[in-house]
Amino acid sequence: MSMKRSIAPGEYYHIFNRGAHRQGLFRERSDWTRFLFEILYFQSPIQFKNVARIVRTFDAEVGFDISEHDFGNVLKARNVELVAYCLMSNHFHLMVRELADGGVSRYMQRIGDAYAKYFVSKYQLSGHLFESPYKAVHMEDNRQLLYTSAYIHQNPHEIKTWRGKEEHYPWSSLYDYVTANRWGGLLAQEIILDQFEGSKSSNYADFVRTSTAKVFEKELVVPKKNPR
């Protein structure tokens, strides 16, 4: 990303942030599901009533109980397109494509504000929840896009109990790439999976499993300029 370039429609970005002082962002299952709901359904400006009730409907294999009407409205009004994600105990990674001018900024502000308000209120905390404003790295080419998707999906390997079982980690879109897409059009896998022939899911899983993405970690997670 050039020093003058800002986030632009049609481009892909690796977005990430962590908890302030490396504190945990998720303490209970309901926290994980709340944030997961937000990264999926806040892709559009559509407002939901009683988010807490919807979050309680989460099933790790099928997702959230959302009406077809609400799902369709979100899909039609998206500001961004979510390509990949992984939630870890004290940080998260997203890959998104901006669809509308300023879409990434609105998306991340809504997620950050809503989740921080929820978390701080629930646990009676003070101060900042997130370490800093989110960071975004522009995907300069297809190689970086593919390797970043692998880097994101390799994160559960850091958790001893999930090592070797990353494909079944419920808080990562690798589950949706390899098993079944729980989110339909709200997870735009095609830009990644369509680059693999034959059994696309199986071949992509092999790519993630054997990828050297960690070797290129610096270029995948260090923005040349925070595009704000």
What pLDDT does residue 126 have? 80
Cβ distance 221 to 137 under 8 Å? yes
Residue of 132, 152, 171 whose CA lies nearest to 38: 171
The C-alpha atoms of residue 12 and residue 160 are separated, in whole angstroms, by 31
What pLDDT does residue 22 have? 83
The C-alpha atoms of residue 12 and residue 188 are separated, in whole angstroms, by 12
Cβ distance 17 to 135 under 8 Å? yes
What pLDDT does residue 73 have? 95
State the DSSP code for 222: S
What pLDDT does residue 219 have? 53
What pLDDT does residue 2 have? 31
Cβ distance 11 to 50 under 8 Å? no
Rounded to two decimals, what is the model's pTM?
A: 0.89
Ranges under pLDDT 50 in the chain? 1-5, 225-228
- pLDDT tens digits, one per residue of 134-187: 999 999 999 999 999 999 999 998 888 888 888 899 999 999 999 889 999 999
